[in-house]
Structure 1
Amino acid sequence: MSAIHTWACFLLWISFATQDKTPDVTVTCFVSEECVLPCNFQPGSKISNGNATMILRRSGLKDRGTYRCHVLTSEGEHDAKVILKVEAPIRGLFLEQSRMSGYEEMKCTVRNVFPAPRVTWATEPPTFEDLRPVTRMLADKKGLYTVDSRLKRLKGQPDLIYICKVTTSYGGPAWTASLREREIRGTQGKDLTIPCSAPTYLNNPSLQWTFSNGEDFSRILTYDSRSGRSVSMPPWDNHMELDNFRVPFGDGALRLMDPKHLEHTGSYTCEFSVPYSSHTERNEVTIHDPEGEQRASEDASYWWVIGLVAAVLVLALAGMLAYLKLRGRTSKPRNDPEEVTELNLVKDAAAGQ
């Protein structure tokens, strides 16, 4: 019995030795992209290349799960198990100021992501007030999430930087967006510095300046952090200046030279950016024209005097017409019917005599 038991163990060992065992493989694929599930083995006489890899076209969340690859060749058996994870990574993070709720709030939005991310808020400089954002997550028919997180702006602190940070549970990169808004007033013909400062968490960012007057939107300047050079767009190149040496240290202030009231009043937006992070500052700039305002004031006074004189003349004319109408009602007409009748009676009596 001992010999039989020994042969049984030996044959069992041979069976496991001829079977190719490989460790489980975990593959992470992105939604709507091509996905490769590997399966390689020792080729036999009938299968030459030893590759049984499977390719999924336009993978989706429904494809998640465990896949088993089993190959039987003259060399033995091959078993492989592939664990497939499908994710929809963050492609962009959008931060803006909104007044849709009846008060000023910061709105942070992420679209078409899976799994649902985590959203946190902060300010720079830090504030001791308790931040109470409201975050909503809504999944569509494909299972992808749209995240909408809103934070009410803090009163009495207009120069705060609001920072929205989104992290994922699968260990992907964290995305960060921050925003600051301010109002600036300048004078026509007098140089004006429009500030733009990057937060401390951005390291050697690129920079872009844009302008909008409410109707048209234009890019006016870009700075490349790799080359350290900036390029301005005409006709703005004659009206602005950027200190390229200060940008790597987070100072992207723009000097507006000889500004004009009509041409340069509008919204100036600067955006610092590095991979997965951006910082935006929106400056509402008003360029005053003192001479034009004075002329407008003088014109207003002139037209005010003309309007007053015209009003007096109209009132005088109306009063005269009312007086004539009243006098006409009180005076007796020359051809009074009663007087005409009496004269006719006297004439008839004289003719009868």
Structure 2
Amino acid sequence: RVFVSAQQISNGNATLILRRSAPRTSDGRPVCAAAPIRGLFLEQSRLSGYEEIKCFVPDVFPAPRVTWATEPPTFEDLRPITRKHAKENGLFSVDSRLMKLKGRPDLIYICKMTTSYSRSTWTASLREREIAGTEGRDLTISCAAPTYLKNPSLYWTFSRGDNSTLILSYNSQSDRQVSAPSWDGHLELDIYKAKFGDGSLRLMDPRRSEHSGSYACEFSEKFSRHVERSQVTIKQRSVEQKPSYWWILGVVAAGLVLVLAGLLAFLKLKEHSASCTV
């Protein structure tokens, strides 16, 4: 906003004051007063022997406030490291990292970013796990929405390497479920439970070569997104051993020993009786 005082001009002072001026690029072009958040990105990394969660948002202005939480809540002190990097164009890239708590593998880590120009808070959360199953045996891949999500849509994707495929989606508004044709007969979602935030997926008759990989469950709303990644390994079913009949021989042998012992005892008792009669 431009402000010039008429009194100052009459006194020969033509100073121009710019209030709330927007940032400018290196060549002097102004940047919009607000560059809104368009989405948060969460990822897990393993560095120097420990695991950390990274929350990142690019090209925003002004820089948002970052807070962390867990679900369920923990009394341990969370100590994130947040960096706000100003670019030449006046926009910010915000990077916040949080070391995962040891001994709490099932915690959901929640990153929140709040801006000064909007009442909306962007929220992203993540949980990762590893699951092992056996070829041909049904396996349940768990996924549950955090309490801050009220009526989210659900998406399941499968990836191996750089290829990612949407295998199932569920719209809580229309109560409609859609699955990829190539996965028919292998996926089952309990729609009744999904309405209440339980998006667990039942993997039926899994194959080691086809169904081992990374499964991602995503609950999403307008300003919120929760992701659970499960690294699933389908192991080959071991060759079933033929039943052993040695135990039957053992039982028979033990029975014979008991019979012989009883017979000897009977003969001794009979011999003793005969000697007493004489």
TM-score (normalised: structure 2): 0.74
SS of 1:88's partner is: coil
Aligned to 2:36: 89
Aligned to 2:234: 287
Aligned to 1:235: 182
SS of 1:263's partner is: helix
Bigger RCO (CA 8 Å, 6+ sep): 2
Alignment partner of 1:208 is 2:145: no
Aligned to 2:200: 253
Question: What is the correspondence of 1:96-111 to structure 2 with a 5 Å cutoff?
Answer: 96-100=43-47, 102-111=49-58
SS of 2:231's partner is: strand
Instruction: State whether residues 224 and 230 of structure 1, in contact with CA within 8 Å, keep that contact through their aligned partners in structure 2.
Output: yes
Structural RMSD (CA)? 2.1
Task: Name the structure where helix makes up a greater proportion of residues.
Answer: 1
SS of 2:184's partner is: helix
Distance 1:184-1:65 versus aligned 2 partners, 3 A rule: farther
> Identity of aligned pairs, percent?
65
Aligned to 1:41: none
Runs of 4 or more, structure 1, over 3 Å off, are: 64-67, 82-85, 291-294
Q: Could you list the runs of 5+ residues in structure 1 that have no partner in the other structure?
A: 1-63, 68-81, 295-353
Choose the corresponding residue for 1:226, options 153, 169, 173: 173
Choose the corresponding residue for 2:215, options 268, 271, 284: 268
Cα-to-partner distance string for 1:61-102 (whole Å, 9 max, x where unaligned): xxx6569xxxxxxxxxxxxxx988710111110011012455
Distance 1:84-1:209 versus aligned 2 partners, 3 A rule: same
Aligned partners of 2:191, 2:178: CA distance in 1, in Å? 10
Aligned partners of 1:208, 1:192: CA distance in 2, in Å? 18
Q: Could you list the runs of 5+ residues in structure 2 that have no partner in the other structure?
A: 5-18, 23-32, 242-278
Instruction: State whether residues 208 and 270 of structure 1, in contact with CA within 8 Å, keep that contact through their aligned partners in structure 2.
Output: yes
Instruction: State whether residues 66 and 84 of structure 1, in contact with CA within 8 Å, keep that contact through their aligned partners in structure 2.
Output: no
Query: What amino acid maps onto 2:129 in structure 1?
Result: R
Alignment partner of 1:153 is 2:100: yes
Query: What amino acid maps onto 1:234 in structure 2?
Result: P
Instruction: State whether residues 66 and 83 of structure 1, in contact with CA within 8 Å, keep that contact through their aligned partners in structure 2.
Output: no
Distance 1:83-1:263 versus aligned 2 partners, 3 A rule: same
Distance 1:65-1:270 versus aligned 2 partners, 3 A rule: farther
Aligned to 1:51: none
Query: What amino acid maps onto 2:45 in structure 1?
Result: S
Offset at residue 217 of structure 1 (A): 1.5
Offset at residue 292 of structure 1 (A): 7.2
Aligned to 1:302: none
